[in-house]
């Protein structure tokens, strides 16, 4: 029995279990296991689901927040409706889309967001250095958009890919929450480099000034400049960070 067979069997097991329980994707179990461990969503919560396609996380969010909760999802790809959730189509990094999402929470009698859950991933190129750096860039942009909308005491969960720059992202995000840690659900593939960043108890009054994305790039640059020997992939991240900074400043 090969290791690959065991991994495939486990994947099929989670996929089969998700199907039996009415979830659209095996990834629903990742959020369920995160929820079981950290209770990131509570009854009556308002939840923003970023990268919601195909809708498995929205299904779990609706279950966890209950009838008096509210779930809004956003993804580039359209989703089949999820009862109890409003699912929008758009690019979360686009200002027009951000305005649409913000309006859902800015209307009269709307409550602030209590939890942001994000299983978002960029289109992968096959070049790991680029894919991993662009993934952190995307996560940082979701932080920059969502944190001003997140209530005090709220939670933020996002997928990240392990590699250069992750420690710096955690360093930059930590002041915004009382607890930030990495977690790998059992439903994640054993061979996958993905982990989830669990951020608990948002404290906006502690928030440093400046965008997460720019502070992350500064932290990576500082780390690289302080080392006498630098891994090639770290230099790649630094260069990509400079490109991303220029793009952001041009917006």
Give me the helix-helix angle, 56-65 and 28-38, nearest 10°: 30
Residue with tokens 């009854």: 43
- The Cα–Cα gap between 235 and 241 comes to 10
| Catalytic positions, written as ranges | 159
The sign one gets for the Cα dihedral 85, 56, 88, 122 is: positive
Q: What is the DSSP string of 185-243?
A: -TTS-TT--EEEEEEEEE-GGGPPSS-HHHHHHHHHHHHHHT-SS--HHHHHHHHHHHH
Q: What is the DSSP letter of 92?
A: T
Nearest to 98, CA basis, from 66, 143, 63: 143
Query: What stretches of the chain adopt beta strand conformation (E)?
Result: 46-50, 70-75, 85-89, 113-118, 150-161, 177-183, 194-202
- The Cα–Cα gap between 40 and 250 comes to 35
| Token digits of residue 56 | 């498995």
Residue with tokens 């400043």: 249
């Amino acid at each position: 029995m090969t290791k690959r067979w065991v991994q495939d069997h486990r994947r099929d097991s989670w996929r089969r279990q998700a199907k039996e329980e009415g979830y659209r994707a095996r990834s629903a179990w990742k959020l369920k296991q995160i929820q079981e461990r950290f209770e990131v969503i509570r009854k009556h919560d308002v939840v923003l689901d970023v990268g919601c396609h195909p809708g498995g996380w929205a299904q779990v969010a609706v279950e966890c927040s209950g009838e008096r909760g509210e779930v809004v999802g956003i993804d580039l790809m359209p989703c089949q409706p999820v009862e109890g959730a409003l699912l929008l189509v758009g690019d979360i990094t686009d200002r027009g889309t951000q305005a649409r999402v913000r309006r859902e929470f800015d209307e009269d009698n709307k409550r602030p967001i209590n939890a942001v859950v994000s299983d978002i991933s960029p289109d992968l190129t096959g070049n790991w250095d680029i894919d991993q750096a662009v993934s952190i860039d995307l996560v940082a942009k979701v932080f920059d958009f969502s944190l001003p909308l997140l209530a005090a005491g709220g939670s933020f969960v996002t997928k990240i890919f392990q590699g250069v720059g992750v420690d710096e992202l955690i360093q930059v995000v930590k002041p915004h929450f009382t607890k930030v840690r990495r977690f790998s659900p059992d439903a994640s593939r054993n061979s996958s480099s993905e982990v989830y960043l669990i951020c608990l108890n948002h404290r906006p009054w502690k928030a440093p000034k400046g965008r997460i994305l720019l502070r992350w790039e500064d932290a990576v640059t500082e780390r690289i400049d302080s080392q006498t020997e630098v891994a090639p992939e770290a230099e790649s991240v630094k260069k990509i960070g400079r490109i991303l900074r220029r793009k952001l400043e041009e917006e």
